[in-house]
């Protein structure tokens, strides 16, 4: 089988994506150690199949590569407790070092990049389950910047295809996306106020779209931050931060429904329960969290952009917003409970909580479904 042709693309991405370099020595090769199943497309399988005949690789290939009838594809099972059997002692990939990046299956070559094939461009960001990517994305003090770059790739089949061009234009998707990001980066407001404003914007945009006036969403977006800041009338009812007990219940429900039995999750849930009994610790925890507000902002901007909110899943803009708001509430709650317990909040605590969240939103079967049910309920 021939390798797909290399194609050139215009790609929109946060500037930090260009700075990212995978280096297993910085993260103890974390992604090669998760018990993930790496799925093979036909082209990658053909490359690996040839290696099965090579005595240098045959033993390890036989151990890792299996046919998965339910998924109807070949899969690399990381069966070894120490992770992928191609991982060398120096934390680098033996296949890549010996045969180059071209040999790799798409998932290994592309992770942690998440790429959407839009009608005119690619949109690409990094999944924050990778600790090296998360540091690049979250630690800068200034707002996340975006850039347009040229990209050559033969891995188009791995990119996630967005809806058709007509639909994207009809709902003014790019206006929804960039206005949302501008609101999330509006530093004259606290994050909770930005979240409220985002909800207002998406509600108004939805009204326009549903009444056949979708072409006005661009104008709404242009006027939105300034207009809304000068008309804070206090009449809106959304409480962006949510009631703490409700957020804790959501956290417990969603992790239970997604059968998340990890030690880390148990410790977040029990820490959260203790936090509910410490109302007097809230102001100090909020102060500690405010010192890392830029990290929370970067997480939200990255998630909103990377998952194509407010069209991350089938459903109205408002339904998408509710899920996005739930992610914000849960992350904030986790961080407040850590701050309350320790009387301090370090950058690493924020990185850990973001990784916990990103692992679940990206890799835990049922987590997002459970979150959607709970957010709609």
Stretch that binds ligand SF4, among 18-26, 47-55, 156-164, 233-241 (CB under 6 A): 18-26
Spatial distance between the Cα atoms of 219 and 234, rounded to a whole number of angstroms: 24
Spatial distance between the Cα atoms of 85 and 32, rounded to a whole number of angstroms: 9
Stretch that binds ligand SF4, among 16-24, 188-196, 197-205, 268-276 (CB under 6 A): 16-24
DSSP state of 102: G
By beta-carbon proximity to ligand SF4, the closer residue of 112 and 199 is 112
Stretch that binds ligand SF4, among 29-37, 141-149, 262-270, 276-284 (CB under 6 A): 29-37
Print the binding letters for residues 251-290 with ligand SF4: x by CB under 6 A, - otherwise. Answer: ----------------------------------------
- From candidates 105, 130, 197, 311, binder to ligand SF4 by CB under 6 A: 130
Which residues are 192's β-sheet partners? none
Number of residues forming the site for ligand SF4 (CB under 6 A): 11
- Provide, rounded to whole angstroms, the least separation between the CB of residue 23 and ligand SF4: 5
Residue 129's closest CA among 290, 321, 354?
A: 354
By beta-carbon proximity to ligand SF4, the closer residue of 33 and 298 is 33
Spatial distance between the Cα atoms of 116 and 312, rounded to a whole number of angstroms: 11
With binding defined as CB under 6 A, does residue 351 bind ligand SF4? no
Cα–chain center distance at 234? 32
- From candidates 9, 12, 29, 128, binder to ligand SF4 by CB under 6 A: 29
By beta-carbon proximity to ligand SF4, the closer residue of 121 and 140 is 140
- Provide, rounded to whole angstroms, the least separation between the CB of residue 83 and ligand SF4: 10
With binding defined as CB under 6 A, does residue 132 bind ligand SF4? yes
Spatial distance between the Cα atoms of 273 and 46, rounded to a whole number of angstroms: 51
- Provide, rounded to whole angstroms, the least separation between the CB of residue 34 and ligand SF4: 9
Cβ density class 103-134: b for 16+ within 10 Å, e for less: bbbbbbbbbbbbbbbbeebbbbbbbbbbbbbb
Print the binding letters for residues 57-96 with ligand SF4: x by CB under 6 A, - otherwise. Answer: ----------------------------------------
- From candidates 16, 86, 111, 333, binder to ligand SF4 by CB under 6 A: 111
Give the up-direction half-sphere exposure of residue 281: CA atoms within 13 A in the CB hemisphere: 20
Q: Are 13 and 158 in contact (CB under 8 A)?
A: no
Which residues are 148's β-sheet partners? 12
- From candidates 12, 17, 22, 107, binder to ligand SF4 by CB under 6 A: 22
With binding defined as CB under 6 A, does residue 23 bind ligand SF4? yes
With binding defined as CB under 6 A, does residue 30 bind ligand SF4? yes
Q: Are 78 and 84 in contact (CB under 8 A)?
A: yes
With binding defined as CB under 6 A, does residue 296 bind ligand SF4? no
Stretch that binds ligand SF4, among 17-25, 38-46, 219-227, 261-269 (CB under 6 A): 17-25
141 phi, psi to nearest 5 deg: -80, -30
Tokens 């070092």 belong to: 97
- From candidates 112, 180, 199, 214, binder to ligand SF4 by CB under 6 A: 112
- Provide, rounded to whole angstroms, the least separation between the CB of residue 130 and ligand SF4: 3
- Provide, rounded to whole angstroms, the least separation between the CB of residue 299 and ligand SF4: 17
Q: Could you give the 3-state DSSP secondary structure of residue 289?
A: helix
Q: Are 181 and 305 in contact (CB under 8 A)?
A: yes
Token pair belonging to 300: 């939200």
Question: At how many degrees (to 10) do helices 131-138 and 293-306 cross?
Answer: 110
Q: Are 175 and 217 in contact (CB under 8 A)?
A: yes
Q: Could you give the 3-state DSSP secondary structure of residue 11?
A: strand
**Which parts of this chain interact with ligand SF4 (CB under 6 A)?**
22-24, 27, 29-31, 111-112, 130, 132
């Amino acid at each position: 089988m021939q390798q797909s042709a290399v194609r050139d693309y215009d790609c929109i991405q946060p500037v930090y994506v260009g700075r990212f370099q995978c280096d297993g020595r910085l993260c103890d090769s974390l992604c090669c150690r998760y018990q993930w199943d790496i799925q093979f497309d036909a082209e990658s399988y053909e490359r690996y199949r040839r290696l099965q005949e090579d005595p240098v690789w045959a033993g390890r290939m036989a151990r890792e590569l299996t046919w998965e009838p339910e998924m109807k594809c070949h899969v690399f099972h990381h069966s070894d407790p120490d992770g992928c059997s191609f991982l060398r002692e120096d934390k680098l990939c033996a296949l890549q070092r010996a045969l180059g990046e071209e040999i790799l299956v798409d998932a290994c070559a592309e992770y942690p990049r998440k790429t959407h094939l839009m009608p005119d461009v690619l949109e690409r960001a990094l999944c924050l389950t990778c600790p090296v990517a998360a540091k690049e994305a979250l630690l800068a003090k200034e707002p996340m910047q975006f850039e347009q770059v040229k990209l050559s790739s033969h891995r188009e089949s791995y990119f996630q295809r967005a809806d058709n061009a007509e639909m994207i234009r009809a709902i003014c998707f790019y206006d929804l996306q960039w206005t949302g990001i501008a609101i999330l980066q509006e530093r004259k407001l606290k994050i909770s106020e930005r979240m409220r404003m985002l909800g207002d914007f998406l509600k108004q945009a939805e009204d326009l779209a549903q009444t056949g006036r979708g072409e006005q969403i661009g104008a709404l977006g242009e006027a939105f931050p300034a207009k809304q800041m000068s008309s804070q009338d206090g009449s809106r009812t959304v409480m962006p931060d949510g009631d703490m007990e409700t957020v804790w219940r959501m956290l417990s429900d969603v992790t239970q429904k997604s059968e998340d039995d990890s030690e880390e999750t148990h410790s977040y849930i029990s820490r959260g329960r203790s936090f509910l009994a410490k109302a007097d610790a809230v102001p100090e925890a909020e102060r500690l969290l405010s010192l890392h507000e830029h990290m929370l902002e970067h997480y939200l901007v990255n998630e909103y952009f990377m998952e194509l909110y407010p069209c991350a899943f089938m459903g109205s803009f408002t339904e998408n917003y509710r899920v996005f708001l739930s992610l914000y509430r849960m992350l904030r709650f986790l961080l407040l409970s850590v701050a309350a317990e320790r009387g301090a909040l370090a950058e690493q605590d924020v990185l850990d909580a973001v990784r916990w969240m990103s692992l679940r939103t990206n890799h835990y079967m049922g987590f997002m479904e459970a979150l959607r049910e709970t957010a709609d309920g």
